[in-house]
Amino acid sequence: MLFEDEEDIFSGGSPKKKFFDIVYNANRNLVELELDRMVERMCLLEMMLEEQMGEEAMEREIQTRTFSQSAELDECKTSKYIELTANILTQNE
């Protein structure tokens, strides 16, 4: 597992906790920009799925995968927290 010992990745907490520490202390404009990029990407992905599957089928698939792929989802979320934190920190310097 890539993030087996996630409490030690940033020495002081999980990637999620560190992300929120950074968000609350980094330059507000940079944080807003990064969060806006994330929301924009999420919207585009939802629009693509809705076009291919329809809204109801998409929602059912999301619910199914939330349970059936929970370990993979947790790994992906951890990876995204690390990525977002890195993006904010590199721009904040």
pLDDT tens digits along 11-53: 668 999 999 999 999 999 999 999 999 999 999 999 999 999 9
Structural domain contains residue 77:
yes
Whether 59 maps to a domain, the answer reads: yes
Q: For residue 66, what are the contacts with CB-CB under 8 A and spacing of at least 6?
A: 73
Note the pLDDT tens digit of each residue in 37-48. Answer: 999 999 999 999
Angle between helices 55-68 and 70-92 (to 10 degrees): 100
Can you give the pTM of this predicted structure?
0.76
Q: How many CA atoms lie within 13 A of 45 on its CB side?
A: 8
C-alpha–C-alpha distance, residues 23 and 16, integer Å: 11
Query: Which CATH number do you get for residue 33?
Result: 1.10.3350.10
Could you tell me the residue range of the domain that residue 44 belongs to? 13-92
User: What pLDDT does residue 11 have?
Assistant: 60
